[in-house]
Structure 1
Amino acid sequence: MNRTAQPGRVLLAGTTALAAVLLGAPNAQAAESDISFSEIVFNGGRPIVVGITNPVDLPLTYTVRSTVDLSGWNVNAYRGTLGAENERVLVASSTRWSCATTTASGYTYRRCDETVTVDPRWIRTGGGLVNGDATEWKTWGLGHKAAGGHDSDTNSATVILQRASRIQDHNASPEPVAKGGTITVKGTVQRANWTAHRYDDYGGRLVSLQFKPAGSSTYTTVKKVTASSGGALKTTVTATQDGTWRWKYYGNTTTGASSSSGDYVDVQ
């Protein structure tokens, strides 16, 4: 596999041994200031929410400063300790990149904008994300010198990965319903299980039931319902006007937010 870094392209450390070669040493952090990375921002500073199958495209921006010519560079995220057995390097392949270059006081600055893709099925040596990866990741950059050699630079910026949630089996009934009658709204809240590559019912979650009147574009929360241990949602409301019902889960530190599809109920 060709591991030569390309300008603006994310280079992936596939194994601990390879990462050790790329980094040179655990403390190799561009101490001589030949190359440094700053202003690293994944996904506009928002958590990266990932399901079990579909790759997720997201923006990555950063600045590379150097006093030497570069043949390439890359930015990535990791957790654990770089070069150690617990190291996990996020696979974020680059699909688009551009860098604006300026010079000042002997430094070359490259302000780079990329679109990167995180694939839940691919990390390190072919394995995918596991549930323990839903946490805060650190960031680092690696620059390759045109004359040979490289510098790595760990960064204070971080990025959070979250497991995707979803609400299934949403239904508001009966349809139609008499004004003043009772509408029963059901659903099931689930969360991505990265380790097992499936969605599991996510019990005990506090989920908002929301309503959007006919002719409106805005949902408002009517009540909050706690899912059963099996993730089931069920509640009743009084029918007062035509409109659309949905469930909204706002997520938590390890889990992303989600909404059900809307279900329109005609009130007669």
Structure 2
Amino acid sequence: MRALTRTGFAVALVGAAFATTAVVPAAQAATGNLRIAKVVVNGGKDIVLTTAAKKVTVTATLSEDSALTEVWLDLENRVGDQVSFYASRRATCTGSGTVKTCTTALTLDPRSDLIHNALAGPNNWKVWVQADSRDGDFASGSYPSVGVRRATALSGDAGPEPVRKGVTLTVTGRLTAANWNSNSWTGLSGKAVELQYCKASCSAYTTVKTVTSNSTGNLRTTVKAAADGYWRWRYVAPHWAASSLSAADYVDVR
């Protein structure tokens, strides 16, 4: 049976505001030969959240010579004993012999007060695993998770189209990010965004210049039209956000 300390903690935190914290009990020592071999979140890739709910798969590989009776996988954002986010669900286990694979899907919803901008990044995200087997063996522990990043988006436009060779071409765009505090997309100011160009027949993009977004996330610059080709914006995000590309805009140069 699942430990009441973890169940009680889950119920308490689900109804709390995002600033609420709680104390997590220390990991219990394993008994018998049940062992947790590996834990993987979201296929090993960082979780990118927009302003909508997203299901994330958590998988644990366990070693045990008896049937597993109960396995719980929890995703937490935790610093020491202070927890800001918590999602928990019983796992479904498969496998023959001593190797068992246990998987569950957890929902992360930025529309909940439990997810806010301050939680974005690779740090402090952990998985708690708790497992019981038919022969009475038990194991639990805390394991590193992938990070959770705010999604970003770029729009772009180059003109006029068509344009004569040597004439000034104006390239505009906007950089926005999923704002988990307001549940909306908002402009990112003061961010370095690369303007890239690929000549017609396009095999590889080259960065032409770097432009800084203004207070509302807007981008604007000028270049000389030289040949038919594609223009796009590229944002290389820091640890708390996901990188993004705008759609390529083809310009006919005559």
CA positional deviation for 1:34: 4.7
TM-score of the two chains, using structure 2 as the length reference: 0.79
CA positional deviation for 1:81: 6.2
CA positional deviation for 1:58: 5.4
- Aligned pair count reads 238
User: Is 1:109 matched up with 2:107?
Assistant: no
Equivalent residue in structure 2 for 1:183, among 169, 172, 180 = 169
Does the 8 A contact of 1:204 with 1:227 survive in 2? yes
Distance 1:75 1:235 in 2: 49
1:60-79 to 2 correspondences below 5 Å:
60-79=58-77
What corresponds to 1:32 in structure 2?
31
Task: Decide whether aligned partners of structure 1 residues 91 and 153 sit closer, same or farther in structure 2, where only a CA change above 3 A counts.
Answer: closer
Unaligned stretches of 5+ in structure 1?
5-10, 19-24, 103-107
Does the 8 A contact of 1:180 with 1:238 survive in 2? yes
Deviations 1:106-148 (A, max 9, x none): xx22245x584643247xxx64521122132012212133467
Equivalent residue in structure 1 for 2:150, among 149, 155, 163 = 163
Equivalent residue in structure 2 for 1:213, among 189, 199, 220 = 199
Q: Which moved more, 1:63-72 or 1:136-145?
A: 63-72
Equivalent residue in structure 2 for 1:172, among 151, 155, 158 = 158
Equivalent residue in structure 2 for 1:120, among 99, 103, 109 = 109
Task: Decide whether aligned partners of structure 1 residues 196 and 27 sit closer, same or farther in structure 2, where only a CA change above 3 A counts.
Answer: same
Distance 2:139 2:232 in 1: 51
Does the 8 A contact of 2:84 with 2:114 survive in 1? no
Does the 8 A contact of 1:16 with 1:87 survive in 2? no
What corresponds to 2:133 in structure 1?
145
TM-score of the two chains, using structure 1 as the length reference: 0.75
Distance 1:130 1:45 in 2: 22
Letter in 2 for 1:49: V
Does the 8 A contact of 1:172 with 1:184 survive in 2? yes
Deviations 1:37-73 (A, max 9, x none): 2321223433211110152x55544311235431232
Secondary structure, in 3 states, of the residue corresponding to 1:132?
helix
Task: Decide whether aligned partners of structure 1 residues 233 and 210 sit closer, same or farther in structure 2, where only a CA change above 3 A counts.
Answer: same
Task: Decide whether aligned partners of structure 1 residues 63 and 185 sit closer, same or farther in structure 2, where only a CA change above 3 A counts.
Answer: same
Cα RMSD (Å) of the superposition? 3.2
Distance 1:159 1:92 in 2: 18
CA positional deviation for 1:85: 6.5
Task: Decide whether aligned partners of structure 1 residues 198 and 182 sit closer, same or farther in structure 2, where only a CA change above 3 A counts.
Answer: same
Letter in 1 for 2:108: D
User: Is 1:15 matched up with 2:4?
Assistant: no
Task: Decide whether aligned partners of structure 1 residues 118 and 174 sit closer, same or farther in structure 2, where only a CA change above 3 A counts.
Answer: farther
Secondary structure, in 3 states, of the residue corresponding to 2:145?
strand
CA positional deviation for 1:224: 1.1
Distance 1:69 1:91 in 2: 22
What fraction of aligned residue pairs are identical, expressed as a percent?
31
CA positional deviation for 1:180: 1.0
User: Is 1:254 matched up with 2:254?
Assistant: no
Secondary structure, in 3 states, of the residue corresponding to 1:15?
helix
Task: Decide whether aligned partners of structure 1 residues 225 and 86 sit closer, same or farther in structure 2, where only a CA change above 3 A counts.
Answer: same
Equivalent residue in structure 2 for 1:233, among 216, 219, 227 = 219
